[in-house]
């Protein structure tokens, strides 16, 4: 983490010093080095509620396309899909916390919220030696109590593909492609086959427009660097 921030910082100072607006941004995640062209758009695809039997294929699709995403996993599924989680991390994706048993976090007591979050932190640590820094609240529901119960960064979304509601992959892809803009966080779910099939349309179409697929944490860093470059 510190090494990564250090590299970003160096990159940032270098960019500011040179005042070159199209110098690539270099991100170093795990074993993966990612180079981002700041003159091209970026998007952070996110997947909630998994892992599931479809997640591995999503991971393959991402890899084939040099794309990275963020998976907000449900803790009680982690053990059964430990292999999938390890591939997720090894391939340079980000893993976030989406509670342990998908309870409505903002409606629970402080202690129960903490328990739901900590159980998932612990199981990811013991299964994959990974510690998430992000929380996607269940049902996108946030209140003061939830904010006060966790140190994790709460992440919502800019575009809801409605893959939980729309029945066809074409409709999901159409909605996504009609809404996504540079810098957006996109909500999807890796528990439906239609989401996987929609992704097979969405990723190539966005790539065609020059989009680069990054994780949520990377998106935040890239936005900061881009901001600096404008100053």
- Catalytic annotation present for 48: yes
Q: Give one DSSP letter per residue of 49-101, joined into a string.
A: S---TTHHHHHHHHHHTT--EEEEE-GGGTTTTHHHHHHHHHTT-EEEE--SS
Candidate residues 8, 15, 48, 169; the one interacting with Zn ion per rule CB under 5 A: 48
Q: Give one DSSP letter per residue of 211-223, joined into a string.
A: -EE--HHHHHHHH
Candidate residues 36, 42, 49, 169; the one interacting with Zn ion per rule CB under 5 A: 49
How many residues bind to Zn ion according to rule CB under 5 A?
2
The distance of closest approach from Cβ of residue 51 to Zn ion in the complex, given in angstroms and rounded to an integer, is: 13
The Cα–Cα gap between 28 and 65 comes to 18
The catalytic residue among 48, 49, 184, 190 is 48
Give the interface segment with Zn ion, choosing from 42-50, 59-67, 195-203, 214-222 (CB under 5 A).
42-50
The catalytic residue among 49, 163, 184, 189 is 189
Nearer to Zn ion, 48 or 163 (CB): 48
The distance of closest approach from Cβ of residue 95 to Zn ion in the complex, given in angstroms and rounded to an integer, is: 15
* Pairing between β-strand 32-36 and β-strand 25-29 as defined by DSSP bridges: antiparallel
Nearer to Zn ion, 27 or 95 (CB): 95
Nearer to Zn ion, 48 or 218 (CB): 48
- For tokens 């890239």, what's the residue? 222
Structure tokens, 80: 């059964």
- Catalytic annotation present for 190: no
Residues of this chain, 73-92, that bind Zn ion according to CB under 5 A: none
Contact 155, 215 (CB under 8 A): no
Q: How many CB atoms lie within 10 A of CB 163?
A: 26
* Pairing between β-strand 159-160 and β-strand 184-189 as defined by DSSP bridges: parallel
The distance of closest approach from Cβ of residue 136 to Zn ion in the complex, given in angstroms and rounded to an integer, is: 7
Helical packing angle, 82-90 and 55-64, nearest 10°:
20
Nearer to Zn ion, 49 or 94 (CB): 49
Catalog residues that contact Zn ion under the rule CB under 5 A: 48-49
Which of the residues are catalytic? 48, 189
């Amino acid at each position: 983490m510190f090494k990564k921030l250090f590299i970003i910082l160096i990159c940032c100072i270098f960019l500011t010093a040179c005042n070159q607006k199209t110098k690539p941004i270099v991100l170093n995640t795990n074993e993966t080095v990612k180079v981002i062209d700041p003159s091209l758009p970026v998007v952070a695809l996110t997947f909630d509620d998994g892992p599931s039997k479809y997640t591995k294929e999503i991971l393959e699709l991402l890899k084939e396309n040099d794309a990275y995403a963020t998976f907000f996993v449900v803790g009680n599924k982690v053990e059964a899909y430990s292999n999938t989680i390890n591939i997720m991390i090894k391939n340079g994706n980000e893993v976030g916390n989406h509670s342990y048993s998908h309870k409505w976090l903002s409606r629970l007591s402080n202690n129960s919220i903490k328990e739901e979050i900590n159980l998932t932190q612990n199981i990811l640590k013991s299964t994959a030696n990974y510690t998430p820094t992000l929380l996607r609240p269940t049902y996108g529901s946030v209140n003061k109590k939830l904010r006060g119960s966790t140190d994790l960064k709460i992440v919502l979304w800019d575009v809801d593909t409605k893959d939980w509601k729309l029945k066809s992959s074409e409709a999901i892809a159409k909605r996504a492609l009609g809404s996504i803009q540079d810098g957006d966080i996109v909500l999807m779910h890796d528990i439906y086959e239609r989401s996987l099939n929609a992704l097979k349309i969405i990723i190539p179409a966005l790539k065609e427009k020059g989009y680069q697929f990054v994780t949520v944490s990377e998106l935040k860093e890239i936005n900061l660097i881009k901001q600096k470059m404008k100053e």
